Structure 1
Amino acid sequence: MVLPEEHFLISVEHQLRAWFGDQPVLARKELLERVAALNPALKKATLDVYLHRLTLRNQLVHAGRGVYALPDAPRAAEFAPSVPPELVELWQAVAAELFLDAGCVWPTQWLNDFTSHQVMRTVQLVEVEPAALDSTYYALKDRLGGRVFLAPDARVLELYVAETPDAVLVLPLVSRAPLQLVSGTPVPRLEKILVDLLSEPVLLASYQGEELRTIYRTAARRYRLDARTLHAYARRRGKAPALRELLLAEGLSSLLPQ
């Protein structure tokens, strides 16, 4: 004799693939809401029991703090891009010369891996603490000449940066920005890049609109993202509401904070 609880659990199992769709992970909160919708009379504690049973039956697997995946879903990779050798050498030289304690470098060319259209004119970004902006700018200018621009505004971006091949932009680093080391060089974590795209619509104008949404969807599908890191940095940049709105609009609720 099959118990009613078993019948309900089987019905939940049959819904799982439809709930996930093309998302690699779902947040615990969203899964609980989906289960509750099948039986609104269930109490929260009972809903948690069902999730636990689904993991025991290998219908769900933990994919991180507060998120689940299907057991046969491809595992998301860590974001560890290749840093151009020129940028590695540039950072090492300037960091040693100026005794820089914090900073990062990255080329906007990385974003072409996430977009539907390729942006041909890309730039290299060097981010340092505000107190080191001027000294970093002059150190780079001594090496690279007119390719270097210090925190350019919209006019400089349009008139000069856009016409300069391999432009290097020196920008202020936001405190406690999420960074990582790749080949011994500090670069932004993907969470930082995603929030910066929201925060710098003029500087990163080529990646706005539909391209921005495509970048977010592609990043969530391919790479492991930490929701807490993403939202903590968005709060520091004053973009938490905009980030939440974008994630909900794109069906990326698994990246909402738990």
Structure 2
Amino acid sequence: MDKSFKIKELNLFFKDYDTFSRGDLYAFYLQFDKELKETTFRWRIYNLKQQKVINTVARSIYTLSSKSEFYPAIAAKEEKIFSTISRQFPMLKGCIWNTNIVNELMLHIPKKSLTIIEVENEAIELVFNFLKNEGHKNLFFQPGEKEIQHYIASLENAIIVQSLVTKSPTQLVSKTTTTTLEKLLVDIYSNKNLFSTYQGTELIHIFNKAYDKYILDFSKMLSYASRRNKKKELIDFLETKTDIQNTYAK
């Protein structure tokens, strides 16, 4: 990387900062270039993020890259299901993940798990019927509270087919579109009936562990929470229940 990026100096200067603002970063570079242009600075920020020198944690708020990116493991079963759906509906947007990926963030590991399949709203029933005809068992179509309590709760693994929220933050892992950490946390927080195992003190631990271990983009997370009409609730939860600093939740 170009010497003008001052990577060594940047890491030394911000090493004791949990986060720093765009203004802080600009002031840092002004020490070396009093006539630094805004366009040059924007390009520099872009490259710093691309090279994983800094990470975005909120709008115009950054941190040095010392944490790992979250790439959930995709089991062969989920990979096969997603591949089958993609072949049958090649233009369909979808996402698949299993609650086993939450285990590393938990205090008490559950014996049961759920496979979550999310697709565009207009195709939910088509995908559900397709999977049913393919012979998949323990398959549920957007289950309600009673169905969750009376049927799903007693199963070792159930497959849930439900609507994919528009502009959901997903990622591609092993040729399979799956959840990001931001989406995972918001989904568990938002759907308390389906994810009852992960509530209470366990939920607090999950959020704290996720923040400690992985890069977490709060702008992305709160934007998704807003689309689920949970932004204000989630911010209150972050500020009053977790160890995450308040500045991230603004």
TM-score (norm 2): 0.76
Instruction: Specify the alignment match of 1:92 in structure 2.
Output: 83
Deviation of 1:99 after TM superposition, in Å, equals 2.9
Once the two structures are superposed, residues 103-162 of structure 1 have per-residue CA deviations (whole angstroms, 9 ceiling, x without a partner) of 100001111111100011111010001111101111111223431100111111111112
1:67 aligns with 2:62: yes
Instruction: Specify the alignment match of 2:190 in structure 1.
Output: 199
1:235 aligns with 2:226: yes
Contact 2:55/2:215, CA 8 A, preserved across alignment: no
Contact 1:141/1:147, CA 8 A, preserved across alignment: no
Aligned-residue CA RMSD (Å)? 2.6
Given candidates 11, 28, 39, the residue that maps to 1:52 is 28
Question: Sequence identity of aligned pairs in percent?
Answer: 27
Deviation of 1:26 after TM superposition, in Å, equals 3.2
Q: 1:143 to 1:27 in 2, by over 3 A?
A: farther
CA distance in 2, matches of 1:189, 1:219: 12
CA distance in 2, matches of 1:52, 1:168: 51
Instruction: Specify the alignment match of 1:158 in structure 2.
Output: 149
Instruction: Specify the alignment match of 1:140 in structure 2.
Output: 131
CA distance in 2, matches of 1:154, 1:26: 40
Q: 1:66 to 1:135 in 2, by over 3 A?
A: same
CA distance in 1, matches of 2:227, 2:55: 26
Given candidates 231, 241, 252, the residue that maps to 2:244 is 252
| Local SS of the residue matching 2:162 | strand
CA distance in 1, matches of 2:27, 2:244: 20
Deviation of 1:63 after TM superposition, in Å, equals 4.3
Please tell me the residue identity of whatever aligns with 2:243. G
CA distance in 1, matches of 2:178, 2:248: 22
Once the two structures are superposed, residues 6-27 of structure 1 have per-residue CA deviations (whole angstroms, 9 ceiling, x without a partner) of xxxxxxx9xx96xx7xxxx335
TM-score (norm 1): 0.74
Count matched residues: 211
Contact 1:147/1:165, CA 8 A, preserved across alignment: no
Given candidates 193, 202, 211, the residue that maps to 1:220 is 211
Deviation of 1:51 after TM superposition, in Å, equals 7.3
Once the two structures are superposed, residues 144-196 of structure 1 have per-residue CA deviations (whole angstroms, 9 ceiling, x without a partner) of 34311001111111111122332100010000000000001000111001111
Given candidates 99, 120, 144, the residue that maps to 2:111 is 120
CA distance in 2, matches of 1:158, 1:81: 27
